[in-house]
Amino acid sequence: MGLYDTVIFSPVFDFETRVGNNSLHAVVVPYIKAPWVLTMLEKDSATRSNLESALTSKNPSIVWLDSHGNEVCLAETETTCAVDLTSDLSRLFSGRIVYIHACLCGKKLAPAMVSAGAKAVLAYTDTVVSEIDPSTMRLTRPFEETLLHPKRLYDHVSVGQVYDETIQIFNVWIDCLRAWDPSVRDALLHDRDCFKLFGDPSAVVQSPSQLVASAERAIATVTVTTLLVQTFLIATLRAVLRRK
């Protein structure tokens, strides 16, 4: 439980949430590999109580929320909220990195999560516009590559780096589609401009090897410090003995 646990919350209650769930299964779920342990809350299991229970019992480092939303609420169903400003945000999100793939949650909910102790939250401050491929019932490629790019959080890179990479991918698609599909280009431009990072850009979940390297550096620092202190003490002792 803990460092390499992650929870994905993806309710399916209408056509759009079905598409979002399909894209998650095609792009994000296969991307999550060991040491990560994924708890997938989707369809009937994607309830407010199950989410709260998973967050408190699994203590995940990364939380991925995928649904409809508004300024103060991430939807559980068409009429209820899975997370809102009345939630115990401190208990649920403190110390975690969160991605909210939903409309408008960047307005109030994401800043409230950071105020409640979340390390960092990536979210959208306006209505998200995207395109569906009717043949696959998934988001089209430009939107899967941009809106789902925060999957890179699972590569142990910082939230700031993931944010910068996402903006770069938006820019590449915006340039590519300028002459080909202005409606998709404009939607991407809009989504890019309302994609925001809240909290600490340096927040990261270190990989096991990064943790070992950090520990080795810490031990080396302690060892050098100990040697210096010992040398100083011996020199002081000698000086005292010589005086006597």
Nearer to another protein, 6 or 67 (CB): 67
**Which stretch of DSSP H or E encloses residue 7?**
strand 5-10
Indicate whether 52 belongs to the interface with another protein (CB under 8 A). no
Choices 92-100, 185-193, 196-204, 210-218 (CB under 8 A): range interacting with another protein? 185-193
Tell me how many residues contact another protein (CB under 8 A): 23
- Give me the least distance between CB of 185 and another protein, in Å please: 6
Q: Exactly one of 80, 115, 183, 223 binds another protein (CB under 8 A); which one?
A: 183
Where do we find the tokens 């649920």? 92
In DSSP terms, which residues pair with 100 in a beta bridge? 65
Would you count residue 186 as binding another protein (CB under 8 A)? yes
Helix or strand run (H / E) with residue 121: strand 120-124
Q: Does 15 bind another protein (CB under 8 A)?
A: yes
Minimum CB separation from another protein for residue 6, in Å?
25
Under the criterion CB under 8 A, does residue 185 sit at the interface with another protein? yes
* Interface positions, 83-142, toward another protein (CB under 8 A): 103, 127-132, 134
DSSP assignment letter at 205: -
Query: Which residues in the 17-36 window bind another protein by CB under 8 A?
Result: 19
Residue 80 binds another protein (CB under 8 A): no
Our finding on whether 145 is near another protein (CB under 8 A) is: no
Which of 123, 187, 203, 204 forms a contact with another protein (CB under 8 A)? 187
User: Is the peptide bond prior to 35 cis by the omega test (within 30 degrees of 0)?
Assistant: yes
Q: Which is nearer to another protein, 24 or 128 (CB)?
A: 128
Task: Using CB under 8 A, pick the residue from 165, 190, 196, 207 that binds another protein.
Answer: 190
| Contact present, 166 and 101 (Cβ < 8 Å) | no
Give CA–CA dist 133/199, Å, rounded. 34
- Cα–Cα distance between 224 and 228 in angstroms, integer? 6
* SS3 assignment, position 10: strand
Compute how many other C-beta atoms are within 10 angstroms of the C-beta atom of residue 19: 20
Residues in the chain: 244
62-95 residues labelled b (16+ CB within 10 A) or e (exposed): bbbbbbbbbebbbbbbeeebbbbeebebeebbee
With contacts defined by CB under 8 A, name the span among 30-38, 79-87, 91-99, 184-192 that binds another protein. 184-192
> What residue ranges bind another protein (CB under 8 A)?
14-16, 19, 68, 103, 127-132, 134, 174, 178, 182-183, 185-187, 189-190, 193
